[in-house]
Amino acid sequence: MSQETTAPAGAVVAPPPKSRRGFFLKLLLLVIILAGIGWTVWYFVDGRWYEDTDDAYVNGNVVQITPQIAGTVTSIGADDGDLVHQGDVLVKLDPSDAQVALESARANLANTVRRVRGLYNNVTSAQADVAVRQTAVDRARADYNRRRDLAKSGAISAEELSHALDTLTSAESNLASAKQSYSSSKVLVDDTVVASHPDVRAAAAKLRSAYLDDVRTTLLAPVDGYVAKRTVQVGQRVQPGAALMAVVPLHEVWIDANFKETQLTHMRIGQPVDVTADVYGSDVVYKAKVRSLGVGSGSAFSLLPAQNATGNWIKIVQRVPVRVVFTDPKQLDEKPLRLGLSTKVTVSLHDQSGPLLAKQAPTQPEFSTTVYDKQLADADKDIERVIHENASVGDGDQQKAPK
């Protein structure tokens, strides 16, 4: 028989304890509402003025080192990862063939200078011959005139007068031939000096070409950077245009960020950008700016563009590349970035005064090198030396055609 517990008559019964579940649900709901209100206020006040993407990667110049002449590699000056400066020797080719061609070009120029000197001498000789022939004509004409007067008085025979006329005719013919020879010789050197004669210029051009081939047996670093992708080996026979190695200037890198087309509405050139790289984490923030907005989506420039004029078309949000450049080079020196690294890019849209597209063409080269500027300077000095050594003594390279 079970026993039941009953409260004594007149006793006060305590109310059951309130459940805390409802309190926490209400508190959670309040927190969610406040968070939603806070996010909404933040978005309309500040958040909507930023666009970000993690589809962004480090890019930069990859300067290929390629020979301009064929040759055999005799030495390699740098390997992968080495720092090189503009003008440093990277690869040397066997210079034997180039030096033989250079000596042949020097000999050809010297021979041409001497031959052109002979043309000037021919003009002088032809001019002297014209003077001699002119004297002979004057003498024959005077002799003929005298005999003609004597023939009128019967002092000499008609036959003797005929011989004098033949002599004058022959002298005039020889004079005309001498003048023609003089003109033919003079036209070859007219209004020139030895150094400016066309034949000498052509020989000098061949010497410049041979000199360049000799200089190009040494391959120099065109820019400061780090060596990558070295494939050349000592003893290898290389051909013009073959990629031997690359030099990457890591202080000139940029970011190619691929934004959705819907994110470009308020994006402008010159807007400030914060960049974080996965390799360093979010603690390192690079300062940058928008350099340019792409002129087309990535699919528009792909090898096989999408053909949307089909019955199975599905709309896909396109991405447009935006180039971002760094504004503080010291950050790249302290925390260098490698090509291809993943980054996150956040663009501040507050300042919308910049253009959507560039408004003027560049006034200076974006990238340049001066390592090849003086290759022909020594060649010109070599040409001047060869001409001076083979020009006529005293006149040098200033010998001119007689008037």
Domains in the chain: how many in total?
1
Assess if residue 93 is contained within a domain. Answer: no
The pairing of strands 254-260 and 83-84 is unpaired
Instruction: Determine the pLDDT at residue 118.
Output: 74
Distance of CA 151 to the CA centre of its chain: 86
Going by C-alpha positions, the residue among 251, 242, 211 that lies closest to residue 85 is 251
Instruction: Determine the pLDDT at residue 346.
Output: 94
Instruction: Determine the pLDDT at residue 217.
Output: 95
Assess if residue 166 is contained within a domain. Answer: yes
Instruction: Determine the pLDDT at residue 1.
Output: 44
- Cα separation, 150 vs 78, in Å, equals 99
Instruction: Determine the pLDDT at residue 397.
Output: 44
Instruction: Determine the pLDDT at residue 132.
Output: 81
pLDDT, one tens digit per residue, over 345-388 is 999 998 888 899 988 888 888 888 999 888 888 888 888 889 88
- Cα separation, 391 vs 115, in Å, equals 10
Does the predicted model carry a pTM greater than 0.85? no
Q: What are phi and psi of 207, to 5 degrees?
A: -65, -40
Instruction: Determine the pLDDT at residue 170.
Output: 81
Assess if residue 44 is contained within a domain. Answer: no
Structural domain for 175, as ranges: 106-192+375-390
Residue ranges for the chain with pLDDT beneath 70? 1-19, 42-48, 154, 181-185, 187-191, 392-403
Neighbours of 3 (CB within 10 A): 5
Assess if residue 110 is contained within a domain. Answer: yes
Question: How many helices (DSSP H) and strands (DSSP E) are in the chain?
Answer: 6, 14
Query: Three-class SS of residue 29?
Result: helix
Please check whether residue 164 is in contact with residue 126, taking contact to mean a CB–CB distance below 8 angstroms: no
Contacts of 295 (CB under 8 A, 6+ apart): 357
pLDDT, one tens digit per residue, over 219-264 is 999 999 999 999 999 999 999 999 999 999 998 999 999 999 999 9
Contacts of 174 (CB under 8 A, 6+ apart): 133, 136, 137
Cite the beta strand spans of 127-190 per DSSP E.
Answer: none
Taking the alpha carbons of 361, 367, 373, 375 in that order, is the dihedral positive or negative?
negative
Assess if residue 142 is contained within a domain. Answer: yes
Assess if residue 111 is contained within a domain. Answer: yes
Assess if residue 380 is contained within a domain. Answer: yes
- Cα separation, 145 vs 161, in Å, equals 9
Assess if residue 177 is contained within a domain. Answer: yes
- Cα separation, 165 vs 176, in Å, equals 17
